[in-house]
Amino acid sequence: MEQQVQKQRIFSGIQPTGNLTLGNYIGALRNFGILQDEYDCLYSIVDMHALTVRQNPAELRKACLRTMAIFLASGLDPEKNIIYFQSQVAAHAELGWILNCFTYMGEMSRMTQFKDKSAKHADNINCGLFTYPVLMAADILLYQTHLVPIGADQKQHLEIARDIAERFNGVYGDVFVVPDGYFPKVGARVMSLQEPTRKMSKSDPEDTYIAILDRPDVIRKKIRRAKTDSENAVVFDPENKPGVANLMSIMAALSGRSMDEIAAEYDGKGYGVFKDAVADCVIATLEPIQNEYDRISADKAYLQQVMDSGRERAAAIAHRTMLKVRKKLGIAPWKL
């Protein structure tokens, strides 16, 4: 009998705060759908990470369900993937505390995102903001994750997770899989519509990004207002024409056309025609997702089923890891 090869495990977590953007779709969600047949995937809505900033409880609950519905509407199959809320699996917090005890203050103080977020939230520089990379490491290591889909701005977080895993393994033996980064073959770095030298971010002002749930008239308005230049030439030149290059990248990612094909098609037609074409492309991609999102959001019983199943399946894997960790550390439960 042919032995079944165990799939490698992928873990990715997305905070529910803010509106998931076109950049999240192109860089992450679309790729998640591609990965689900080849890998054993867990996708977590990391609501505990959101608590480093004060949240309105009712709004956070809505945001969590909205994010899960977007995952499902984007093509993630809850049978093939484990989709769950981080806070519903208590082992995240437990392992986070344990790994805090294997992480050094100096390591945390060097994290660039702590410095950035401290500047943004100077009135609330809390301990969670300082140590959240350790909770992120726990998120990953809890599931014996082989691969973590990351962008360039997340490499530092993966490195600290690897360092913590290697440190723990060095003391207690082979406890955690040491994860590697997964860099998607399909994707593009989508930049801010108003500051095209910066990555599109859901934490920035709304006119700088296209949200997955933005309706057609909003999408068209935002793209028409996107920053370009005065030359009116559709040429892919990220250094000198970052705004135009960003819009070309979006069209290329969604249509499958090359930069040369796009430049040739809109040569001499001006930015107005080009921006409308980009808007058409984005709307055609997002409208089916939005329609599916509306259908799923209205089906509370289905969302509850996905939530319950995801929690149970994630907790079962986490439990196995925590039994091993507890045994190595000498903490309960014991068998007397």
Distances in Å between the alpha carbon of 263 and those of 91, 190, 244, 248, 284? 51, 18, 10, 8, 20
Q: Is 235 helix (H, G, I), strand (E, B) or coil?
A: coil
Average pLDDT over the chain reads 92
Residue 1 within a domain: no
Tell me what the mean pLDDT of segment 89-93 comes to: 98
Q: Is 70 helix (H, G, I), strand (E, B) or coil?
A: helix
Asked if residue 308 and residue 281 are part of one domain, the reply reads no
Tell whether the model's pLDDT for residue 225 goes beyond 70: yes
For residue 31 the two structure tokens come to 């790729």
How many domains does the structure of the chain reveal?
A: 2
A 10 A CB-CB count for 294 gives 12
Asked if residue 319 and residue 179 are part of one domain, the reply reads yes
Q: How confident is the model at residue 129 (pLDDT cuts 50, 70, 90)?
A: confident
Distances in Å between the alpha carbon of 171 and those of 167, 168, 259? 7, 5, 51
H/E element holding 299?
Answer: none
Predicted pLDDT at 2: 45
Predicted pLDDT at 113: 76
What's 215's domain CATH number? Answer: 1.10.240.10
Q: How confident is the model at residue 60 (pLDDT cuts 50, 70, 90)?
A: very high
Asked if residue 29 and residue 117 are part of one domain, the reply reads yes
Per-residue pLDDT of 7-38, as tens digits, reads 999 999 999 988 899 999 998 898 888 898 89
Predicted pLDDT at 185: 65
Residue 232 within a domain: yes
Predicted pLDDT at 199: 86
Residue 4 within a domain: no
Residue 124 within a domain: yes
Q: Is 113 helix (H, G, I), strand (E, B) or coil?
A: helix
Asked if residue 281 and residue 323 are part of one domain, the reply reads no
Residue 78 within a domain: yes
For residue 232 the two structure tokens come to 């009116």
Residue type, 240: N
Residue 169 within a domain: yes
Asked if residue 308 and residue 215 are part of one domain, the reply reads no
- CB-count burial class (<10 Å; 0-12, 13-18, 19+) for 234: buried
Tell me what the mean pLDDT of segment 175-180 comes to: 97
Per-residue pLDDT of 274-302, as tens digits, reads 999 999 999 999 999 999 999 999 999 99
Q: Is 199 helix (H, G, I), strand (E, B) or coil?
A: strand
More confident residue, 129 or 215: 215
333: cis peptide before it, omega within 30°?
A: yes
What's 13's domain CATH number? Answer: 3.40.50.620
Predicted pLDDT at 186: 54
| Cβ neighbours of residue 261 closer than 8 Å, sequence gap 6 or more | none
Whole-structure pTM value:
0.90
A 10 A CB-CB count for 238 gives 16
Tell me what the mean pLDDT of segment 135-147 comes to: 97
Dist CA 114 CA 33 (whole Å) = 31
Residue 198 within a domain: no
Concatenating the DSSP letter of every residue in 3-45 gives PPPPPPEEEEEE--SS--BHHHIIIIIHHHHHHTTTSEEEEEE
Q: CA nearest 71: which of 52, 105, 45, 104?
A: 45
The torsion angles phi and psi of 100, rounded to 5 degrees, stand at -55, -35
Asked if residue 309 and residue 280 are part of one domain, the reply reads no
Residue 145 within a domain: yes
Asked if residue 99 and residue 133 are part of one domain, the reply reads yes
Q: Active-site positions?
A: 117, 199, 202
Tell whether the model's pLDDT for residue 49 goes beyond 90: yes
Q: How confident is the model at residue 336 (pLDDT cuts 50, 70, 90)?
A: low
Q: Is 62 helix (H, G, I), strand (E, B) or coil?
A: helix
Contact 277, 266 (CB under 8 A): yes
Per-residue pLDDT of 233-267, as tens digits, reads 999 999 999 999 999 999 999 999 999 999 999 99
Asked if residue 139 and residue 55 are part of one domain, the reply reads yes
Asked if residue 137 and residue 39 are part of one domain, the reply reads yes
Q: How confident is the model at residue 143 (pLDDT cuts 50, 70, 90)?
A: very high
A 10 A CB-CB count for 326 gives 15
Beta bridge partners of 41: 10, 81
Q: CA nearest 286: which of 30, 65, 63?
A: 30
Q: How confident is the model at residue 66 (pLDDT cuts 50, 70, 90)?
A: very high
What's the chain's length in residues? 336
Tell whether the model's pLDDT for residue 122 goes beyond 60: yes
Q: How confident is the model at residue 188 (pLDDT cuts 50, 70, 90)?
A: low
Tell whether the model's pLDDT for residue 187 goes beyond 70: no
Asked if residue 182 and residue 45 are part of one domain, the reply reads yes
Cα 40 to chain centroid distance, Å, stands at 17
Domain that holds residue 75: 9-187+300-329
Asked if residue 317 and residue 263 are part of one domain, the reply reads no
Asked if residue 168 and residue 87 are part of one domain, the reply reads yes
Per-residue pLDDT of 268-280, as tens digits, reads 999 999 999 999 9
Cα 179 to chain centroid distance, Å, stands at 17
Q: How confident is the model at residue 119 (pLDDT cuts 50, 70, 90)?
A: confident
Contact 50, 15 (CB under 8 A): yes
Predicted pLDDT at 118: 75
Concatenating the DSSP letter of every residue in 63-105 gives HHHHHHHHHHHTT--TTTEEEEEGGG-THHHHHHHHHHTTS-H
Percent of the chain whose pLDDT exceeds 90? 76
